[in-house]
Structure 1
Amino acid sequence: MDLAATQFLGMISNYVFWPTLLVPGWEVSAERVAQVVDEAVRTIAARYASARPPCPRG
């Protein structure tokens, strides 16, 4: 799950964190940050949802 965490944080930081440091005047609204985080959650959930182990039958 380290890979999933890194991917998740990378999606967020690539839009919110790094441009703030590197692009003069870059500003991101709280609403946009929430949208970026929501999209990252959806992307990770879609990718790793199928990686769940199958339910044991009993």
Structure 2
Amino acid sequence: MSETPRNTDTEPKEIPGELEWYNGKLMPVVDASRSGWWRFHQHYDRGGYCDNPARGY
């Protein structure tokens, strides 16, 4: 069985620290000093920044 060659020129490219693959999607990096979900998202609570997503708001 032979694989079809992929055209890498038209595929989106990962740019470390700016645009990276996460959960199968190419996403912009919000905070490169963090890892996981926090690297690609910001979460705020009523009083400002929230480091605990389990708070529920």
Higher RCO structure, 1 or 2 (CA under 8 Å, sep 6+) = 1
**Does TM, scored on the shorter chain, surpass 0.5?**
no
Q: Return the structure number with greater strand share.
A: 2
When normalised by structure 2's length, the TM-score is 0.23
- Greater Rg, structure 1 or structure 2? 2
Give the TM-score normalised by the residue count of structure 1: 0.23
**Between structures 1 and 2, the one with greater helix share:** 1
